[in-house]
Amino acid sequence: DADVTQTPRNRITKTGKRIMLECSQTKGHDRMYWYRQDPGLGLRLIYYSFDVKDINKGEISDGYSVSRQAQAKFSLSLESAIPNQTALYFCATSDTDYQPQHFGDGTRLSIL
């Protein structure tokens, strides 16, 4: 969905490095989410935010942090990357209830 843009698209880095993944959206949605996707598993929620002043942990938030800089921007940080954080990361937005989430094209992150 071109309305949700993630950068970078690919990143290879080393254990212990700090990494930031960025997400911006032009859909005007208040709700934003970060997920990770691993082979054979469904998307798992890392963090979510329902407006600029609202940040909440998801089911797998350990080792991650987020910042909601504006309605349109939601970034995910790995403070000290470890190999088991190698995954596909997706940002998503949604509007109100009974509306689907809209996803970016993801960041493929490899930690060596």
One-letter amino acid at 108 equals R
Q: How far apart are CA 47 and CA 103, in angstroms?
A: 14
CB of 6 to other proteins, least distance (A): 8
Name the site residues for other proteins (rule: CB under 8 A): 1, 4, 33, 37-43, 45, 48, 50, 56, 58, 88, 90, 92, 97-98, 100-106, 108
**What backbone phi and psi angles, to 5 degrees, belong to 99?**
-130, 140
CB of 17 to other proteins, least distance (A): 21
Which is nearest to 74 in space by CA: 37, 16, 35, 109?
35
CB of 29 to other proteins, least distance (A): 13
